[in-house]
Amino acid sequence: MKKALMGLALAISMVGAVAVLPAWAAEVSPPNGELAERILERAEEVQSRAIRWRRDIHEHPELGNQETRTAGLVADHLRGLGMEVETGVGTTGVVGVLRGGKPGPVVALRADMDALPVKEATDLPYASDVEQMYQGEERSVMHACGHDAHVAILMATAEVLAGIQGELEGTVKFIFQSAEEGPSDYVYKGERPFGARQMIRAGALKDPEVDAIFGLHVTSAAPTGVIAYRSGPTMASSSDLYIDVIGSQTHAAQPWDGTDPVTTSAQIVSGLQTVVSRQTNTLSAPAVVSIGTINGGSRHNIIPERVEMSGTIRTFGEDVQKRVNERVKRTVENIAAAAGAETEVSIIENYATTVNDPALVKRMLPVLKLANGGNVFEAPLVTGSEDFSAYAQEVPGFYFFLGVTPGDRMKTAAPNHSPEFFVDDKGLVTGIRALSLLATDYLRQAQQE
């Protein structure tokens, strides 16, 4: 995500935070002025608690499907605000329902709770030294993608909106999701859903039925408080690629007596690059095919029987995803056949393309600008993937990015998923404002239709 937003990040500058409606707000059809101003004020009031929550969650990260402590903090907080709360949704998910004082539609706000199997390399006083089991192996754990910030922002948003519950013209559903990064308790090979799909299957968008959903992702690729968005396709689909190349084992001094899966695998890695460069029209949207692991052999002078590889495929749009996946499989099988080897190819479609509903973006963009004084910019396509896409396949969705890097650290900021990833807590208040205003004004606008 960092590289995809870097051009944007270098082109923009910081704008000071605002606690009251900016002078130009009347030009963008804001929500009720007095109510919006109170929302901004309440966001300021709760930000210190949001910072404490984030740092506590950061110090105690939990991997996908193991977020029991985090879920407990969330559930207790929502209950304390008087909400209807359901726990254990999917696995460890939490859903809170805030019914407004007036009848109306239902809007959902979503945050993901899970951390990553990464050993933290910061010197923060609240750095993680947690270890958990990850797919059968004890691993260090860190909130290296900012999900701790997502949880804290949504907890604070819940507090802001609960404080104006009587004025809400509908219902707000708070979805705290497990395992966005994938399950930690089993190796996913497509056999059962995780994360957003698991939440949806468990009824997170039902009872009451959601009409629209909003979410955000913090990024080190933009300065603190800056918001970046995109209408339509925004983040790539993701397919996991597994390739086994099967030859016949022989002495490395006599390769002609066997079939070499190592050399064949090398040819496959090179050949796969032509799927993007020569077989896919990338003028409208990028595509990526990358091999991340290659494993085979046990000794320097033995050609092994088998080599195992894995990688990722990123595309934009279901049709493109299908075509690229088919061409990857064809390329692998034909190269192997030419070498006299056999292959087993498995492509698992994990995440769909995240598509922001164009009508919803157009409708809510003026409101989003109130959150940070108009410091909102259009983002380029992002080849990272997000399972928020699953919600957006069910109901209109709008997913945007929030910068959390101090302006003077932009050139050296570690990217998301780095052991040195850093969140500037000053950016949390912008996220609280944004989600609070989006939910409130979506409900208001729906009543006027």
Q: Which domains does the chain have, with CATH numbers?
A: 2-235+353-448 (3.40.630.10), 237-351 (3.30.70.360)
| Identified catalytic residue from 180, 181, 244, 357 | 180
- Distance in angstroms (rounded) separating the CA atoms of residues 36 and 197: 33
pLDDT at 90 over 50: yes
- Is 333 a known active-site residue? no
Residue 95 pLDDT > 70: yes
Question: At 4, is the pLDDT very low, low, confident or very high (cuts 50, 70, 90)?
Answer: very low
**CA dist., res. 315 & res. 276, Å (int):** 10
pLDDT at 447: 76
Q: Is the pLDDT of residue 110 over 60?
A: yes
- Beta-sheet pairing, 227-229 with 131-134: unpaired
Q: What is the structure's pLDDT at 12? A: 39
Q: What is the pTM of this model?
A: 0.91
Model confidence at 277, pLDDT cuts 50, 70, 90, reads very high
Predicted confidence at residue 143, as pLDDT, reads 98
* 148 to 52, 91, 143: CA distances (angstroms): 11, 18, 6
**Core vs surface per residue 274-296: b (16+ CB within 10 A) or e:** ebbeeebeeeebbbbbebeebeb
Q: Which of 62, 67, 112, 114 is labelled catalytic? A: 114
Q: What is the pLDDT of residue 1?
A: 45
Cβ–Cβ under 8 Å, residues 132 and 63:
yes
With cut-offs at 50, 70 and 90, classify the pLDDT of residue 3.
very low
26 has pLDDT over 90: no
pLDDT at 191: 80
- For the chain, give the percent of residues with pLDDT over 70: 93
Instruction: With a cut of 80, say whether residue 21 has pLDDT above it.
Output: no
The DSSP string of 429-449 is HHHHHHHHHHHHHHHHHHHH-
C-alpha 262/C-alpha 246 separation (Å) is 9
Q: What is the mean pLDDT of the chain?
A: 93
Gyration radius of the chain over CA positions: 24
Query: Rounded CA gap, 281 and 209, in Å?
Result: 39
Annotated catalytic residue 114: yes
pLDDT value for 37: 93
Task: Give yes or no for a contact between 419 and 385, defined as CB atoms under 8 angstroms apart.
Answer: no
pLDDT, one tens digit per residue, over 289-314 is 999 999 999 999 999 999 999 999 99
Q: pLDDT digit string (tens) for 397-440?
A: 999 999 999 999 999 999 999 999 999 999 999 999 999 999 99
Q: What is the mean pLDDT of residues 171-189?
A: 95
